[in-house]
Structure 1
Amino acid sequence: MPDPFIDADITQPTGTSSAYLAAVRLKSPNKNIFRALMSLASAALLIRVMGLVYQIIVTGRFGLGDAMDAYFVAALVPSLVAQLIGGTVEYSVVPVYIRVRSQEGRKRASELFSTLLNVLLVGTVVLMVVMFIFRFEVVHLSAPALGSSSTGLAASLAPFIIPILVLQVLISLLESILNAEGQYGWPAYAGMLVPLTTAIFVLVVGKYFGIVALCVGGLVGLCLQLFVFFIRVRQAKLVYRLNINLRNPAVASILAIAGPALLTALIIQASPLVDQIFASSLSNGSISALNYALKLNSVPVGIIFVSVGRAVLPYLSYQVSSNNMKAFKETLRLYLWAVAITTIAMSAFMTILAHPIVQLLFQRGAFTSEDTALTASTLVGFTLGLAPMAFGFILSKAFNALGKTRVLMFVTIFSVSANAIFDYIFARLWQSMGIALATSAVYCCTMFILLFALRRSIGKLNLLTPPGEVLTVIWKLGLGNNYIRWVSWKQRNSSWFRIQYNVSRQLGRVGVIFAVFIAGMIGMFYNSLYALRVSFGAIIILVFLRYPYVLLIAWALINAFIGSNLPFFNGNNFLSALTIPTFLLMACVPIRQTLKRMPVLVFLAIYLLWALASIGLSPLGTVPFLIFWLSLVDFAALSVLTINVITTRRRMLGLIDAILVPTTFIALYGIYGWLTKQYGVLDSTGVFRAYSIYNAAPGLSLLLSIVIPFAIYRTFTLRGIKRVVGLIVTLILLVGTGVTFSRGAYISLPVAIIVMICFLPSRKLRIGMLSGVVALAVMLVLLETVGHVPLFDRFFTQDIASINGRTYLWQALLQSFDPTRLLGNGLQASDALLASLTVGSIATAPSNLFIGTLYDHGIIGVILLSLVFIVMLVGLIAGLRKATGERRMLYAAALAAFICMLFQSQESNDFWIQAIAVYFWILMALPFALNWSTPKPLPEADEASLDETTQPRMKVVRQEMLEHTSAGPGV
């Protein structure tokens, strides 16, 4: 495990540096970049050497006992949070600071610097206090299985370690600012103070104060480094002011970049975890070989890539701020060539000498020759990806300079997903070397994706043309004549290289077909049935990517049956075929504008991230946890997709019809089961309750309850005989809900319909719907009294006081709840607890959404979930106040569905059941869809006039942005 004090100065996500002043003074910025590169690389090397000496001293003093375990456990969370925040600060501050410094002057730059420093200082101090108060929980989160004595020692060390959070974040900010002012040497070499000071403390007072000397030495080293940085900031003539100006437009720009950058950093942390998960299923020693190979591979990454990134990013940012894209491309091309040449040579060196290197460094004691061979082969797999890794690293800096961190976020999501897929395939073939090769393959894919995206953003890059500096080196090496002869030969035979566009396109298609054919042949060799399914699935996914509306319709038609009692829809990867294109399409939709339309998605995303934090606590395994959690992410993704794809009224009505088709079938199936006493359960009260294709009646009643208001809305949009069909469908859904005999639905659905009536846009509609409700109520009374159908008998049974035994389940969960566990007990921990207890008389689920969430995700989790419902309710009510005509009726239907969901969630936790939640979030998104961007009155013609196309998506987004800008900052 890396040391938090030392690792902060060695492996930070490559600071962001910029040298505006030096770039102005020198005609060629490349000279200054080279000087900065030499300073950064030499400092990184010295820090690694000093870190090695530090490690020798520490291990010699403390060994590998409980004290060091407690130290690493106590330092894990603060150091990880500091690196995430510090890396995000570096990525987001430099481009904006350089723009302010170059365009608005030093005074405005000083104001921005002061605001950032004060905000980070206050925020990190608050976070430090929270960590100190909950230090026992933080230690338990870091190592749940740690012994009681080590846990107590780690908690006692926390007050000496937690302050590194504040110090490291402030150092990251100051380093970014200093690099932006053209100062590289002092900030880089100041990093040696931390290992040097820590080593001195351990040597001098370590035998007296024990492990505390290690902690205090690290804090003193960080304080000295911070002091040096403040001196250099003062010499840079930056004026510090004790103020916070959050209205500064530059702060908003930094926050816009910081959000995707932080999410990218969080996602990046998952890659080593994914590798380790797959390595854990391989032969003994695979995990160790993977980690040893990664350490060796990190040497060129830490020295070359980090140094080049720090040296180049500031100049790229300055060139972007001055709108000098020609210089931007030239600088980028030069360093891509330089890094490519260096890494290719290094890859060849490390590949050839992998075995001797590992043997020299590790083969002694318990490290056998077999371990050397395994580690060396794994190292070869990693070194093959050094060149594409270097390309991706430098290209990511280009996107940072351009402020396009959202592209990096989606590329990172793709890389983590692709890494898991490649690990699964390659690990079966080549063990730990296969995992390393999978990582290299991912770097190749991300390199091409980034190159394609960058070319789309700024035009041709001309990467195949050698930069002038490279040609100069070639000439000095005496190879100029050879290069001239090669260029002349190429020009004479240029006709061979000029392929018409149509021909090149056909060749590309043939190449793709050939590659797919080869992949199919390999798949057929290993698992023919699986390969065939993947082939058909790939075709379907491509269709969905080309036609997103078809994807939405597929979700509406198929989702209700996935996970049901129908065998065909289970085990055939229907969910994967729908989820993969849904996630991929998120890269093509305007997320920010979508969140402005439906703000509840922000709070849903925060809740899902909070749930993800419990991955180490959940009783589920890591892979089942991620699968289930991704199914929850589907809900937010589908809302985003619905808002952006529903651009016409016909599309919206077609989607509602697609939802009504399966739910009507399910309702009819339930009615048939109730009539024939099948597909249901005989309640303890003697009432037969239908559950159709599911396993419980409450789930069926909840699904039908949220769909019925939209069936009513759809009926009002029809005319003539079609309205009769709509009435029949609505009646079928009502009867299907009735035969579940669910008390929650019997209460919430009438209340929801009455609320919907109150918000209908016209008096005629209200009177008509109210008449229908009265007629339905009369029919229910007749069925109860004359037909002797026990509709209301379950309201007068003995179990009504305990709500059919649910209160016993809630009591068991509340008694086991520990409020000091901030993250709760993990996803589905309440189900696992109740399964181990013999409590109540119904199932083993919490049967209450909020109590279950309280146990699973703690007090913060239930607060976040409550905010989801509150913000959704506020959004619906605000929409009802503004909307008129048909859109008001749709808002009323959504509010009715919301009431049903909220009320019935008090007796079940089916809010997260996919068969229900997918429809709920799609339906909730309909009032916010793009087809309402240009309000239109309810048409009086028949359905032939319903296909009125609204404004194109980008035009709508642009119009919204202009309206928001014209409204002024006070809006």
Structure 2
Amino acid sequence: MSEAIMPPQHQIGTFRRVFHAATTVAVFSMAVKLAATAKEFVLAGVYGRSDAMDAYLIASMIPNLLINLFAESMNQALIPTLVRVRIQEGAEQAQKLLAHTMMRLVLLLVGASIAMALLAPVAFPLIASNFAASKLESSIHIFWMLLPVVLLAGVASNCTAVLNTMDRFAIPALAPALMPLGIIASALLFGRQYGVWAVICGNLLGVAAYATFMAWIMNGHGYRFALSRGGESQAAREVARQYGPVLLSSVVASGGLLADQAMAAMLPPGSVSALVYAGRFASVAVTLLAGALASALTPHFSVLVADADWSGCRRSLRHWAGITALVSVPIAIALIAGAPFLVRLTLQHGVFTARDTAAVAPVMAMYALQIPFFAVSRVYYRFVLAMRRTDLILYCGIINLVLDIVLNIVLMRWMGLAGIALATSLWTASTLAFLWYWSYRLLNQRLRVTAPIRKDGMDRRA
């Protein structure tokens, strides 16, 4: 159906459904981010910018990277195909696809965890080259303790993505709060007595509760939590083909994060903590805007592409990119202008002093510049994934990694730690330009192909 004759009530209904989903995710993600922010306040008050906290942050970075690499990449490759299979082949085939994919994911997560456990003594001296020997050893031991997080959080992430395809957004968006709440409770109750090891235990307990809860919720909403090594279907092979480029893209993106952390470790002590603390503020805005809209648009674009509704895709791209820009620009301006006040209000207590505030605030302002670029780019990113052009995501990631390293080298010499944050904001602008160009190029190609068909069909009806 062409855009001109699309029933207005259909357009309004689609807008309301996506808006309601995005709003739901945003509201509950805000609660999760508040819990995560409260966790940062507690950790800052109990541990400050100490060597123990530097060691924990470096160690916890690797499990988080592995989750993003393997679990999030699998979700992005799976969801468009899972939606198409459910629409075209039925719920039973979709369940088989999910069980097969879940088994692959579990094997990948376990294998990656074992490999990183063996490589840790070699990798950590490269990541944290400026750490003292005792601090480096502590980071490796903490990392080994945190490795179960990779499997548990990865499975929970997959369950969340599947629930989103069934328009279940509220509980999956709120459930991750179990992780920071576990850390808060352990740090407050046992932090003084057991040091950073209390945080590790809280982390493990929180993520175990999160994974168990999400698997139980998914079982109650139409998809069983099951693992299968049965024969591959055409759909499973399609997911595997899409997964490779997305995984490589995530590896490249993670390389940028590692480069940021490694270069921060080359600066004065406490720089890694300052970079992480400053990044949390922009992360809250990005999650609420980009994360919420991406969760709502992933199933939406997947359905539109499965139905070959290219006019609907064009409307959605223009509409949601515009709304995201209108919302995100004022938020970025407010965070840039209010950076010193926000850091002082939220972090300056306990052993976190005014000197620490002066170090973190400029970094926070530079990170906030990325918010509009990143948020709007997620609209185009989800469309490209729905089109199953994951190769473009890989090319974009390679460009970004090169930009990030070059900009880090140049800007950190000029601005110190704030230069690393500014480099991140600059390559997000490049991401937006790349994804915008390819989204409309792909869309226009499909519109040109279908236009003669529609015209011929209309002529015959006439």
Deviations 1:366-421 (A, max 9, x none): 5459937x944x65555444333322222111111111111121122223334455
Note closer, same or farther for the CA distance 1:219–1:422 as it changes in structure 2 (3 Å cut). closer
In the aligned structure 1, how far is the partner of 2:266 from the partner of 2:138?
A: 33
In the aligned structure 2, how far is the partner of 1:62 from the partner of 1:432?
A: 21
In the aligned structure 2, how far is the partner of 1:285 from the partner of 1:59?
A: 12
* Pair 1:371-2:358 in alignment: yes
Q: CA deviation at 1:446?
A: 3.4
SS at 2:292's partner residue?
A: helix
Q: CA deviation at 1:28?
A: 1.7
Q: CA deviation at 1:110?
A: 0.6
Q: CA deviation at 1:317?
A: 1.0
* Pair 1:37-2:22 in alignment: yes
Deviations 1:502-551 (A, max 9, x none): xxxxxxxxxxxxxxxxxxxxxxxxxxxxxxxxxxxxxxxxxxxxxxxxxx
**1:161 counterpart letter in structure 2:** L
Note closer, same or farther for the CA distance 1:315–1:142 as it changes in structure 2 (3 Å cut). same
Aligned to 1:389: 374
Residues 77 and 246, structure 2, Cα contact 8 Å, conserved in 1 = yes
Deviations 1:274-308 (A, max 9, x none): 56788899999998876665443333112211111
List aligned pairs for 1:56-95, cutoff 5 A.
56-58=41-43, 68=53, 71-72=56-57, 74-95=59-80
Q: Given the alignment, which residue of 162, 184, 191 partners 2:147?
A: 162
Note closer, same or farther for the CA distance 1:49–1:461 as it changes in structure 2 (3 Å cut). farther
Residues 111 and 240, structure 1, Cα contact 8 Å, conserved in 2 = no
In the aligned structure 2, how far is the partner of 1:60 from the partner of 1:359?
A: 13
Q: Given the alignment, which residue of 331, 335, 347 partners 2:320?
A: 335
Note closer, same or farther for the CA distance 1:148–1:350 as it changes in structure 2 (3 Å cut). closer
Residues 121 and 166, structure 1, Cα contact 8 Å, conserved in 2 = yes
Q: CA deviation at 1:272?
A: 4.5
In the aligned structure 2, how far is the partner of 1:59 from the partner of 1:444?
A: 31
Aligned to 1:189: 174
Aligned to 1:227: 212
Residues 50 and 195, structure 1, Cα contact 8 Å, conserved in 2 = yes
In the aligned structure 2, how far is the partner of 1:447 from the partner of 1:368?
A: 35
In the aligned structure 1, how far is the partner of 2:139 from the partner of 2:269?
A: 30
Residues 249 and 393, structure 2, Cα contact 8 Å, conserved in 1 = yes
In the aligned structure 2, how far is the partner of 1:203 from the partner of 1:287?
A: 23
Note closer, same or farther for the CA distance 1:453–1:72 as it changes in structure 2 (3 Å cut). closer
Q: Given the alignment, which residue of 290, 298, 301 partners 1:313?
A: 298
In the aligned structure 2, how far is the partner of 1:207 from the partner of 1:429?
A: 39
* Pair 1:262-2:250 in alignment: no
RMSD: 4.0
Note closer, same or farther for the CA distance 1:139–1:451 as it changes in structure 2 (3 Å cut). closer
* Pair 1:99-2:84 in alignment: yes
The structure whose RCO (Cα within 8 Å, separation 6+) is larger is: 2
Aligned to 2:95: 110
Q: CA deviation at 1:238?
A: 2.0
Q: Given the alignment, which residue of 163, 169, 178 partners 1:178?
A: 163
In the aligned structure 1, how far is the partner of 2:416 from the partner of 2:129?
A: 29
List aligned pairs for 1:239-258, cutoff 5 A.
239-258=224-243
* Pair 1:400-2:390 in alignment: no
* Pair 1:346-2:331 in alignment: yes
In the aligned structure 2, how far is the partner of 1:358 from the partner of 1:64?
A: 14
Residues 329 and 461, structure 1, Cα contact 8 Å, conserved in 2 = no
In the aligned structure 2, how far is the partner of 1:200 from the partner of 1:283?
A: 31
* Pair 1:271-2:293 in alignment: no
Note closer, same or farther for the CA distance 1:299–1:452 as it changes in structure 2 (3 Å cut). same
In the aligned structure 2, how far is the partner of 1:48 from the partner of 1:434?
A: 25
**2:238 counterpart letter in structure 1:** S
Aligned to 2:222: 237
Residues 89 and 172, structure 1, Cα contact 8 Å, conserved in 2 = no
Q: CA deviation at 1:70?
A: 5.2
In the aligned structure 2, how far is the partner of 1:340 from the partner of 1:449?
A: 17
**1:28 counterpart letter in structure 2:** G
Deviations 1:246-299 (A, max 9, x none): 521122211222111112112223435556788899999998876665443333
Q: CA deviation at 1:438?
A: 5.1
Deviations 1:161-204 (A, max 9, x none): 22111111111111111111221111111111122233334445
SS at 1:183's partner residue?
A: coil
In the aligned structure 2, how far is the partner of 1:425 from the partner of 1:134?
A: 30
Q: CA deviation at 1:51?
A: 2.2
Note closer, same or farther for the CA distance 1:388–1:245 as it changes in structure 2 (3 Å cut). same
**1:217 counterpart letter in structure 2:** G
In the aligned structure 2, how far is the partner of 1:437 from the partner of 1:259?
A: 30
Q: What is the aligned length?
A: 436
SS at 2:157's partner residue?
A: helix
Structure 1 unaligned blocks of 5 or more: 1-24, 463-971
Residues 285 and 371, structure 1, Cα contact 8 Å, conserved in 2 = no
Q: CA deviation at 1:61?
A: 5.4
Deviations 1:695-735 (A, max 9, x none): xxxxxxxxxxxxxxxxxxxxxxxxxxxxxxxxxxxxxxxxx
Aligned to 1:821: none
In the aligned structure 2, how far is the partner of 1:138 from the partner of 1:272?
A: 14
Structure 2 unaligned blocks of 5 or more: 1-9, 448-462
Q: CA deviation at 1:30?
A: 2.3
Q: CA deviation at 1:62?
A: 5.7
Deviations 1:326-366 (A, max 9, x none): 11222222211110111222234344445544565567875
In the aligned structure 2, how far is the partner of 1:432 from the partner of 1:75?
A: 21
**1:32 counterpart letter in structure 2:** R
Q: CA deviation at 1:461?
A: 12
List aligned pairs for 1:590-609, cutoff 5 A.
none
Q: Which has the higher helix share?
A: 2
Q: CA deviation at 1:33?
A: 1.9
Aligned to 2:459: none
**2:283 counterpart letter in structure 1:** S
Residues 289 and 371, structure 1, Cα contact 8 Å, conserved in 2 = no
What TM-score does the superposition give when structure 2 sets the normalisation length? 0.79
Residues 426 and 435, structure 1, Cα contact 8 Å, conserved in 2 = yes
In the aligned structure 2, how far is the partner of 1:26 from the partner of 1:57?
A: 46
Note closer, same or farther for the CA distance 1:294–1:163 as it changes in structure 2 (3 Å cut). closer
What TM-score does the superposition give when structure 1 sets the normalisation length? 0.40
Note closer, same or farther for the CA distance 1:193–1:283 as it changes in structure 2 (3 Å cut). closer
Aligned to 1:303: 288
Note closer, same or farther for the CA distance 1:287–1:217 as it changes in structure 2 (3 Å cut). closer
Residues 68 and 250, structure 2, Cα contact 8 Å, conserved in 1 = no
In the aligned structure 1, how far is the partner of 2:429 from the partner of 2:112?
A: 38
Note closer, same or farther for the CA distance 1:232–1:368 as it changes in structure 2 (3 Å cut). closer
